[in-house]
Structure 1
Amino acid sequence: MQDKLTLMIPGPTPVPETVLKAFGRHPIGHRSGEFQQIVRRTTEKLKWLHQTSSDVLVITGSGTAAMEAGIINTLCRGDRVLCGNNGKFGERWVKLARAYGLEVEEVTAEWGQPLDPDAFRRALEADADRSIRAVILTHSETSTGVINDLEAIAAHVRAHGTALLIVDCVTSLGACNVPMDDWGLDVVGSGSQKGYMMPPGLSFVAMSERAWQAYDRSDLPRFYLDLGPYRKTAAKDSNPFTPAVNLYFALDEALTLMQQEGLEAIFDRHARHRAAAEAGMKAIGLPLFAAEGHGSPAITAVAPDGIDAEAVRKAVKQHYDILLAGGQDQLKGKVFRIGHLGFVCDRDVLTAVAAIEATLRRMGRIDAAPGAGVAAAAAVLGG
């Protein structure tokens, strides 16, 4: 049967019917009063989601645009920065920072392990002349299924007093608690195709007052991603360039759905789905890749020892029309990843676990009793 594809990847994620209908509306003028009302509504809702009173700006672009904007609007060529690197997107931060001539010092951990907050503390405490201008990291490392302890790292950055905290929250915002103001985060980047339950195409950059002070001294080249004009026009419920009008329609509806569910309920749902996916995989004898207790609420990475992970993905797609994510770089063929963020319900997680279990049985690569994975996941979801 065609057209039954179920996305269980960390982006793009499934999109609710009402969001798709909103997206499919006829475009309107982006300088019209009607569109200004949408910008005003979505701005307030974005602040609610970020738990901030600071600016949250919308860019037509991917999550990487938000990451780049965070750097070029707050730093100067030659600035010393600490970059957390424990996966593909930590590596991207390092490459991006070096591309703009920043002096990068890496705080690393093996892929599958979380970043050590004490490593940041030691580096920051050793910075007697306060020359470190920023700490940059990924909250939920999508490539490995690891969640980093952003709250603890943020506390060390605040104690430093000078460094900004710039964070990729692309797969954590809308999946777990990211209270920007309470934790003292300065720049938070995210993308529409993740927890926002929307198609790809919008990125979001939240900027603290400290970040805006850094903007005034920043000398890195920028034009389309210069956040100054975005802030100026946002105050007038507008945009400096032609925005993705239909994606704003979708954003308005998606954020309304999120507000109806409520932040705590959203966070609880994602935590429950993480626990169910992890329990299901363990019950059928598949090891998890992320260190115990550090799995992301957005995605579960599975390392099927002695089994080609790509063969599992291909078979699940072929027989059940469920798309799982593969491993990246050195993890290709060694892990597959189950996305469970955004518009995902208990049924979706149960179905994915059942399909993986049935696939392994079809391949003759499972010793667990029939239904063991589904029973373990169901016990979590029904608990």
Structure 2
Amino acid sequence: MKDEYQLLRIPGPTPIPPSVQQAMMKPMIGHRDHTTKALLKRIKPSLRHIFGTKEDVMIVAGSGTAGLEAAVVNTISPGDEVLVIVTGSFGERFAKICESYNMNVHRYEYDWGKAFLPEEIKSYLKKHPSIKAVFATYCETSTGVLNPVRELASVVREVSDALIIVDGVSAIGATPMMMDDWGIDICVTGSQKALMLPPGLTFIAVSQKAWNRIEKNHHSRFYLDLRRYRTNLIEDSTPFTPALSLLFGLEQSLNLLKLEGLENVYNRHQMMKKMTRAAFKALGIPLLTNDTDASPTVTAIQPRDFNPDQFRNIVKEEFGLILAGGQNHLKGKIFRIGHLGYCTPQDVLQTISCIEIGIQRIGKNIPLGDGVRAAQELYIKEG
């Protein structure tokens, strides 16, 4: 029994609801069949709602990184100037994608664990008027930071005609995204995060301004050519074979989000963030981010007096609890707890309880129950 039990609390892939798993077990259908067209037609309105856009959202069989690369290759040409805001590992990934296509990349880097400051970006753009796109990460998964992309879009619009392109992979579906109202041009997410699916789908929403840029861009692309997806989606189809089983699951996950109500979904994630942070404050274990910058989907913890990776091994062995480690220069220095998607406050209470025992096991003396009590009190007060 112990060998088969797993408590997955990483920021993706995330647990999958049973009803979504059942939906993905439906018999295979023809991808050019009218049944697939009807499925895509049913899915489209819900995706638009989650992204906060009137535009159809492209569905591409691929990881979230495929969506990020599609955003780059469809809008920018080699030699073009772009600004990439780096607040962690996934901002760094955006920069590497742009560099791989020989773009002139300006990196604006922040200390990992801090959100970017829109006014600083505004000042930088004034000094570099040739920049054609600004790339930003909504939730920086590697640090547990939620960046102010709404405010970023506002200041960019004041001083530049650059496109605003956002990695929303560990944010969309768990925290608000009003793409049209905020003035964001391209937003990308993946299936394995708040949308409660296995990895394998990326979703890309594009503004009219960005479409105009895409139509004029002569950069070579084939599978990731968003023009193909747009043309086919008008006819409720895809240019290439879709991941049909994932689409079955997607429809059900979208139904679950609709049934709960997006505002309630967002409030649940805020509650889980606050409970998690309250627990570690009560235990006297430092958090990587401050309360203002903290993401509702993942919390990064930076212990001073025990080894995070040894601790993660202990709770995995004893409880089947899987936590994420640090990335790049934070490897071995932090651990991260994912609380997004198919996750509830009661899951947080279970996770904190296991963590307290794990901390004791590694040799740090803490009063058992203080973290759980703080999370409980937060829930009672605000829930």
TM-score by length of 1: 0.97
Q: How far 1:55 moved relative to its partner?
A: 2.5
Confirm or deny: 8 A CA contact 1:76 1:217 kept in the other structure: no
Runs of 4+ in 1 over 3 A off after TM superposition: none
Partner deviation per Cα, 1:172-208 (whole Å, 9 max, x = no partner) = 1011111101101100010000000111100000000
Distance in 2 of aligned mates of 1:100 and 1:217? 17
Taking the aligned partners of 1:235 and 1:108, their CA distance within structure 2 comes to: 39
* 3-state DSSP of counterpart to 1:27: coil
* Structure 1 residue 3 displacement after superposition: 2.0
Residues 133 and 164, structure 2, Cα contact 8 Å, conserved in 1: yes
Counterpart amino acid of 1:237? D
For the 8 Å contact 1:100–1:220, the answer to whether it is kept is no
Structure 2, unmatched stretches of 5+, are none
Match of 1:168 in 2: 167
For 1:66 and 1:79, the matched residues in 2 are separated by 20
Using the alignment, how far apart are the partners of 1:138 and 1:197 within structure 2?
A: 20
Q: Which residue number corresponds to residue 286 of structure 1?
A: 285
Match status 1:193 vs 2:175: no
Q: Distance in 2 between matches of 1:284 and 1:366?
A: 10
Distance 1:242 1:293 in 2: 43
- Aligned twin of 2:8: 7
Deviations 1:220-277 (A, max 9, x none): 2210000111000000000000010100000000001101111110110001100000
Contact 2:122 2:155 in 1 (8 A): yes
What's 1:18 paired with? 19
- 1:123-167 Cα shifts (integer Å, max 9, x gaps): 12234xx41110001110000111111111110122134100000
Q: Does 1:373 align with 2:374?
A: no
Q: For 1:36 and 1:279, locate their aligned partners in 2 and report how far apart those are by CA, in whole Å.
A: 47
Tell me, in whole angstroms, the C-alpha distance in 2 between the residues paired with 1:241 and 1:152.
37
Where do residues 195-214 of structure 1 align in structure 2 (5 Å cutoff)?
195-214=194-213
The residue correspondences of 1:37-186 to structure 2 (distance < 5 A) are 37-127=38-128, 130-186=129-185
Q: For residues 52 and 197 of structure 2, what CA distance do their matches in structure 1 show?
A: 20
Secondary structure at 1:73 match in 2: helix
Give the secondary-structure state (helix, strand or coil) at the position aligned to 2:323.
strand
RMSD: 1.0
The separation in 2 between residues aligned to 1:240 and 1:140, in whole angstroms, is 30
Deviation at 1:284, TM superposition (A): 1.1
Query: How far off its partner does 1:366 sit?
Result: 2.8
TM-score of the superposed pair, with normalisation by structure 2: 0.97
Task: Give structure 1 stretches of 5+ with no counterpart.
Answer: none
Cα deviation per residue 1:93-152 (whole Å; 9 max; x = unaligned)?
11111111111111110111111111111012234xx41110001110000111111111
Q: Distance in 2 between matches of 1:192 and 1:226?
A: 20
Query: Do 2:308 and 2:332's aligned partners in 1 also have CA atoms closer than 8 Å?
Result: yes
CA distance in 2, matches of 1:226, 1:145: 31
Which amino acid is 2:334 matched to?
A: V
**For residues 35-57 of structure 1, what are the alpha-carbon distances to aligned partners after superposition, in whole Å with 9 as ceiling and x for unaligned?**
11110111111001111101210
Give identity over the alignment, percent: 41
* Other structure's SS at 1:158 match: helix
SS at match of 1:382: helix
Partner of 1:326: 325
Q: Which amino acid aligns with 1:215?
A: I
2:340 aligns with 341
Aligned pairs, number:
380
Shift of 1:380: 1.4
1:351 counterpart residue number: 350
Give the conservation status (yes or no) of the 8 Å contact 2:324–2:337: yes
Answer yes or no: is the 8 Å Cα contact 2:314–2:361 preserved in 1.
Answer: no
In structure 2, the partner of 1:266 is: 265
Conserved in 1, the CA contact under 8 Å of 2:306 and 2:362? no
**Is the CA contact (8 Å cut-off) linking 2:187 and 2:206 kept in structure 1?**
yes
SS of equivalent residue, structure 1 residue 132: coil
Return the letter of the residue paired with 1:73.
N
Q: CA deviation at 1:2?
A: 3.0
How far apart in 2 are the matches of 1:357 and 1:72? 46
- In structure 2, the residue corresponding to 1:167 is in which secondary structure? strand
What SS does the corresponding residue of 1:380 show, helix, strand or coil? Answer: helix
Query: What's the counterpart of residue 220 of structure 1?
Result: 219
Aligned 8 A contact 1:114 1:291 in 2: no
